[in-house]
Amino acid sequence: MKVFLLKYTEGGEEIVAVTGFGTHSAKSAADIQPSRKGVQRMIEFAIDKKHSSLLNFPYYVVTIEEASRSFTHQWVR
């Protein structure tokens, strides 16, 4: 099996943090500028509280070649 990284989302962690803080803040998401520590705290919070919808943002786009059919069916689940 061959896996190739095609593209990644720059600032993906910041996107997760802003959307997370936006759900718990009176501020508009456009007005939220989290610090590096704030970004890390929000990601840890999302993982700890199983707030997985925050973590569903695209980070990486990959292509997978020569994978089995069973693998590809599990991958998209």
How many domains would you assign to the chain? Answer: 1
Residue 47 pLDDT class (50, 70, 90 cuts): very high
Residue 58 above 80 pLDDT?
no
Confidence class for position 26, pLDDT limits 50, 70, 90:
confident
List all residues 6 or more positions away from 6 whose beta carbon is below 8 Å from its beta carbon: 61, 62, 63
Boundaries of domain holding 17: 2-75
pLDDT of residue 63: 86
Q: What is the pLDDT of residue 40?
A: 96
Q: Are 21 and 54 in contact (CB under 8 A)?
A: no
